[in-house]
Chains A and B, each alone.
Chain A
Amino acid sequence: MNILFEWFGDPANWSGADGIGQRLWEHLWYTAVTMLVASAVALPLGLWVGHTGRGRWLVTLANSARAVPTLGLLLAASLWLGPKLPGDFAYTVPSIAVLAILAVPPLLAGAYGGIDSVDGAARDAAYGVGMRGRQVLWQVEVPNALPLMLSGVRSAVLQVVATATIAAIPGLGGLGRFIIDGIALADYGQAGGGALLVAVLAVLLEGILALLQRRLVSPGLTGRAVGGSRNDDDSAGPEESADPTVDLRTSV
């Protein structure tokens, strides 16, 4: 523990081009760009597959991509793409591409699964009252798919934040630098500090996303709706206020 306190306690480690602030910023930046790229591909695709029921094999394919070894892919991509790209892009593009591949399966599965699990009767009613395809998608399917879609986003973010550390191996910045460099230099305070920062960042992001999910998802879907359960109010409707002891009913 002491070496951790020492490392965190040294002001020199906090500032500068390779300080904690800068690395944290880089890490967040890679995560954000990766999520944007992956979402731009996976979310529309997942919504399309769920809405039309076509191309389910894409979801299966993406899920099987989870088995690809990330580190191997990262090194291969860096070796292959790195020399073809100018300057910093040589490091960032392969890394972000590989991280995005990692983020696609949970995003795609969440979007597709969310749409697919929408109550069939609600979907039928949506078309039946005269909504057009896009209106059904945006007014009924997406709002009802949000819990699963956002779960997909959360697990993708967690995975990207954690895995972005290995992008330091081919030379990218981010909190992974502390871990990789710390191990290389046998500076375990630095390596442990980096690992701890990644963990704290992951927990923080998870908390923020959970709050966001609470704001975005309709209370009708989460059971947090006002007024409690449906059986707590016996004046709610005639069928519930009927006196059960009276059996003499007027026949028609």
Chain B
Amino acid sequence: MIRFDAVTKEFPDGTVAVDDLSLTAPTGKITVLVGPSGCGKTTSLRMVNRMIEPTRGSIALDGQDTGRMDQAELRRGIGYVIQHAGLFPHRTVLDNIGTVPRLLGWDKKKVRDRSRELLERVGLDARLGDRYPTQLSGGQQQRVGVARALAADPPVMLMDEPFSAVDPIVRDQLQDEFLRLQDELGKTIIFVTHDIDEAIKLGDQVAVLRVGGTLAQVAEPAYLLAHPADDFVADFVGRDRGYRSLQFQEAPRLPLRSEPTVTLGETPATDAAWLLVVDDRRHPLGWVEPGRIGGRGVQDADLHRGGTVARSGGSLRGALDAALSSPARRGVIVDDSGELVGTVLAHEVLDAIEDTDRPERDEGDPVHGGAVAVAGDEA
């Protein structure tokens, strides 16, 4: 558990970056600090490993005041991932990963084995181990950065906009894998981002900070979207919050219809306006308009790929988006292996939404309302 107790940071020029911040990041959970530029989120993060020293207040790691610990030893016990990875250009990927174990004096063989294990763990090919950072793509560098932070198996991780410098598709992948990794490892993580979507996707708890470094609200993501504490938070979580909050609501049993399909090369035997194309494993490929093909086999070029695909048992957001984005207006639903289950119409998803409740409002403190419960922490 990381606990900020009335922490203030005032820089020598008089700027107050963080103002009287009290916050608890519970053990084994991801706490996201989010807010506009100048809200002090990075400063707050960097005060945890004392890259920046607080002016007032204290930060405790599992009850121990970090201000009293040896700086370097404190940092070796905390995984640290930064925006541009910050890999050491003169060291190979494996040597980069093994940095902290080497500082801790592990023997060479153990460092080497551990580095290889982590390379694999973050989804990189073993052959990349002997490469140098300049030979990697941005996404790969970021993975190595995460592996380096995990190398000595620290219980706590600090992540400062780790995925913001990569393109959106890679970012999405990195986020998904990060969540998968966290499921396995259960680290206590503080994660800084300016992207509310990322905050909501990754956070077990999201702390919204406002310019001037004060805490506007801290809550679970679904609660934050449903009950912003004030106009600032409402504004920051954005206009689409109603839609985004559907992400946290598992789709109930939707009334699926079975969908006639065709495979590539086959000639459609129907005059329906839209026909779903699947591959030989019944994975959806896209939609075609049989009327425009005119009696020949379906070719790759005929495919409309605009529709998204939702997983059965996934979120309402996914199901609704699948229906809305489908050219046929029928949302494609697949099972966990990607195989077609059926289709659903938007109004059927909406009916399901109307049958679900918004997250309950807690009584009491609006700023800390709906925050993740902390074991052994009195209110």
Contact = CB atoms under 8 A, between A and B. Distances in A.
Interface of A: 119, 121-132, 135, 139-140, 143-144, 217-221, 223, 225-231, 235-240, 242, 246-252
Pick from A126, A129, A135, A140 the residue with the most CB of B within 10 Å: A129
Given A128-B51, A230-B137, 19 more contacts: A122-B87, A123-B86, A125-B80, A125-B85, A126-B86, A126-B88, A128-B49, A130-B74, A139-B88, A217-B90, A218-B90, A220-B90, A226-B131, A237-B124, A247-B286, A247-B305, A250-B318, A251-B310, A252-B201
A230 B143 contact: no
B284 interface: yes
B124 A227 contact: no
Pick from A121, A124, A235, A250 the residue with the most CB of B within 10 Å: A250
Interface in B27-44: none
21 contacts: A119-B86, A124-B82, A125-B85, A128-B86, A144-B88, A217-B90, A220-B89, A220-B132, A229-B135, A230-B137, A230-B140, A237-B137, A246-B285, A248-B307, A248-B308, A250-B311, A250-B334, A251-B309, A251-B322, A252-B314, A252-B317
Interface in B135-154: 135-137, 139-140, 143, 145, 148-149
B351 interface: no
Interface in B269-323: 284-286, 305-311, 314-315, 317-318, 321-322
A50 to B, nearest CB: 16
Contacts of A129: 75-76, 80, 99-100, 103, 148-149
B72 A132 contact: yes
B318 A252 contact: yes
Given A119-B86, A230-B135, A249-B308, A235 B103 contact: no
Contact of A250 (B75, B80, B169, B310): B310
A140 B309 CA distance: 47
A135 B72 CA distance: 11
Contacts of B137: 230-231, 236-237, 239-240
Nearest to B305: A247
B65 interface: no
Contact of B132 (A124, A218, A238): A218
Nearest to A231: B137
A131 B72 contact: yes
A42 B358 CA distance: 69
Interface string B151-185: 00000000000000000011001101000000000
Given A226-B130, A237-B143, A239-B170, A127 B75 contact: yes
B261 to A, nearest CB: 14
A245 to B, nearest CB: 8
A58 B80 CA distance: 35
Contacts of B103: 129-131, 135
A252 B318 CA distance: 6
Nearest to B135: A230
B268 interface: no
Nearest to B103: A130
Contacts of B254: none
Contacts of B145: 125
A237 B141 CA distance: 11
A238 B173 CA distance: 9
